[in-house]
Amino acid sequence: MILIDTSAWIEFLRPRGIPVVKERVAAYLSADDGAFTCPIRFELLSGAKDSEIADVEAVLSLCRHIPFDAECWTTAARIERDLRRHGISVPRDDVFVATVALRTKTTVVCRDSHFDLIRDKGGLPLVLEQFS
């Protein structure tokens, strides 16, 4: 199972998205390995045009949904506090995605350097497949 971050989904859904990202996400979907969590769905739907909603829902329907439950909220709050203690400030949605990945020991596929900060400066064992 691979947690596909919003940043990778955006490239996948763009007609002229980065080919290597499009290919990698397509491979995960073909292998039935793709996953998302509520914060990713929220980001995709809130940023989509009305004409894009059906496409977003269609690709997400091909993936496993990892719930963001009450325990995730508590863990995310602790992670964000720890990051701030290290002088790191990242978007909260990235903290949510990292929380789910850490909890499920899932690799995050992304194009977002905030995950590098969470892993490297925050000292968290986050596994990434990062595309620049």
CATH code at position 30: 3.40.50.1010
Instruction: Tell me whether strands 128-130 and 34-37 are parallel, antiparallel or unpaired.
Output: unpaired
pLDDT at 94: 97
Q: What is the pLDDT of residues 32-82, one digit of tens each?
A: 999 999 999 999 999 999 999 999 999 999 999 999 999 999 999 999 999
Return d(Cα 37, Cα 58) in angstroms, integer.
15
| Residue 132 pLDDT | 77
Number of domain units in the chain: 1
Give percent above pLDDT 70 in the chain: 100
Q: Which residues contact 105 (CB under 8 A, 6 or more apart)?
A: 127
pTM recorded for the entire structure: 0.94
Q: What is the pLDDT of residue 14?
A: 94
- The per-residue DSSP string of 20-31 comes to HHHHHHHHHHHT
- Structural domain of residue 64, as residue ranges? 2-130
Q: What is the pLDDT of residue 100?
A: 97
